[in-house]
Amino acid sequence: MKYDFDTIVERKQTHSTKWSKFSDPNIIPMWIADMDFICPREITDAMHERIDQGIFGYTDTPNELSQILKERIKLNSGWDIEEEWVTWVPGAVVALNISCKTALAPGEIVVTPSPIYAPFDEASKNMSRGMVKNFLKDNNGRMELDFDATESLLSKDTKMLFFCNPHNPGGTVFNKKEITQLVEICEKHNVIICSDEIHSDLILQDDLRHFHLASLNEYAKLNSITILGPCKTFNLAGFPLAAAIIPNKELREDFVRNTKGIVSHIDNLAFVASKAAYRDAGEWHKELTEYLKENKRILKEEINKVDGLSLSGPEAGFLAWIDCRETKLDAPGDFFINHAGVGVHDGEWFGNKNYVRLNFGCPRSVLNESIERIQKAFSQRN
Ligand SMILES: Cc1ncc(COP(=O)(O)O)c(C=O)c1O
């Protein structure tokens, strides 16, 4: 490997949200979705060069960024977007919120998957819109859509459906057949789909590929908001930046109007980092994916040896959704944190307290240490 994913980098002194969460220094933080890997020189060199210029005023979106994104999407999936479809915003969560404001009038409702990354739930509340939960099914560890339940939730007031593909926390990469069925239901009920696809660059199985929902057909194209961004792929969470891709002109103009006065200027270093990442860090991304595949393989093998725990995914990303139902623990998250010393994300935050989410985007030695702790704590349980 050309790049180093093994070195442990001290992060506590940087006010890292991940590393500041637990007051007990012996707990290994494996919760929030950023990775403990250093960005490659291809990104940091570009940032150094920008910093050395020394003036950090309000900055327009560099035209090349949408062009680079367009070329990247075309190359990776064949989806042919136009640059003008892209609106850049400071982070995917901003796009989720603005989508609620745009697609729903007060009193209208969004269908939101459950479990889900909590800001999806919060977006409708923030915008004073309604929300109904669409519970996913656990099919032998793969979190799947329940199409009948989904359709039963659609009424004249449900005007948008949130989709998260690859899914966070479940790790499912929804395939074309599943997406086709979902779009058919949405078309029947005239529902817009907001599809968060920010984990789609990190597919961990050779037999899977990401399929952009908006590329399915004309209905999906004209009734969707696709959210993509470099922050998960290149570990740039501290520089929030995401693309909302909206082919429908009217919907796009509404979306842009709704950002006015609310959404701040994008950080100029976020532009620099993201451009360098997309343009120059392809090799790092490839090696990262291989490293994550191996971390996942080890984690899955070892977690499944523990009585009561079960893990089958994720099919993408660096977040493992561990099924703890068979442990019969009331609060599995608490057990991992306070008995094993492994600072997982409690499943309750995503809507199911019988699971925990573990971030394995870390050096292998840290992963191995956390696995040993989990195995020891569960073996000593009485
Ligand atoms: C599905 C999903 N959407 C959005 C976000 C947050 O993105 P951002 O930091 O760009 O707002 C995350 C972070 O974990 C996520 O998993």
Does 23 share its domain with 70? Answer: no
In a domain, 159, yes or no: yes
Last residue of a domain, one of 259, 279, 299: 279
Does 244 share its domain with 354? Answer: no
Alpha helices, DSSP H, located in 260-281: 268-280
In a domain, 263, yes or no: yes
Q: Atom 14 (ligand 1): residue with closest C-alpha?
A: 33
Q: Which residue stretches of the chain have pLDDT < 50?
A: none
C-alpha separations of 327 from 78, 302, 307, 335 in Å: 44, 16, 7, 11
Does 240 share its domain with 101? Answer: yes
Domain limits at 357?
12-40+282-379
CB 101 within 8 A of CB 127: yes
Q: In sequence order, which residues have a C-beta less than 8 Å from that of residue 249 and are 6 or more positions away?
A: none
Tens digit of each residue's pLDDT (9 = 90 or more) over 193-215: 999 999 999 999 999 999 999 99
In a domain, 2, yes or no: no
In a domain, 1, yes or no: no
Q: Which of 56, 320, 363, 12 is nearest to 166 (CA)?
A: 320
| pLDDT at position 94 | 97
Q: Per the structure block, which two tokens stand in for 324? A: 């703890």
Give dist(CA 321, CA 140) in Å, integer.
12
Residues contacting ligand 1 via CB (< 6 Å): 33, 91-93, 117, 164, 168, 196, 198, 229, 231, 237, 240, 242
| pLDDT at position 1 | 85
Does 102 share its domain with 175? Answer: yes
Does 28 share its domain with 93? Answer: no
| pLDDT at position 44 | 97
Does 148 share its domain with 275? Answer: yes
Helix (H) or strand (E) holding 358: strand 355-359
Does 214 share its domain with 345? Answer: no
Q: Which of 72, 94, 92 is nearest to 83 (CA)?
A: 72
Q: Atom 10 (ligand 1): residue with closest C-alpha?
A: 91
Does 224 share its domain with 193? Answer: yes
What's the CATH code of the domain at 369? 3.90.1150.10
Pocket test for ligand 1, best of 18, 112, 117, 201 (most atoms within 8 A of CB): 117
Last residue of a domain, one of 232, 254, 279: 279
Closest ligand 1 atom to 164 CA: 1
Residue 237 dihedral angles phi and psi, to the nearest 5°: -60, -25
In a domain, 7, yes or no: no
| pLDDT at position 382 | 62
Give dist(CA 313, CA 171) in Å, integer.
6
What's the CATH code of the domain at 169? 3.40.640.10
Does 174 share its domain with 296? Answer: no
Strands 224-228 and 192-196: parallel
In a domain, 51, yes or no: no
| pLDDT at position 381 | 84
Last residue of a domain, one of 234, 257, 279: 279
Q: Atom 7 (ligand 1): residue with closest C-alpha?
A: 92
DSSP string, 141-190: TEEE--HHHHHHT--TTEEEEEEESS-TTT-----HHHHHHHHHHHHHTT
Q: In sequence order, which residues have a C-beta less than 8 Å from that of residue 349 and are 6 or more positions away?
A: 118
Does 274 share its domain with 336? Answer: no
Give dist(CA 40, CA 281) in Å, integer.
7
Question: 4 alpha carbon to ligand 1 midpoint, in Å?
Answer: 25
Q: Which of 209, 168, 205 is nearest to 319 (CA)?
A: 168
Entry pTM: 0.97
Total number of domains in the chain: 2
Residues in the chain: 382
Does 129 share its domain with 255? Answer: yes
In a domain, 5, yes or no: no
Q: Which of 329, 317, 330 is nearest to 358 (CA)?
A: 317
Does 268 share its domain with 294? Answer: no
| pLDDT at position 2 | 92
In a domain, 221, yes or no: yes
CB 259 within 8 A of CB 242: no
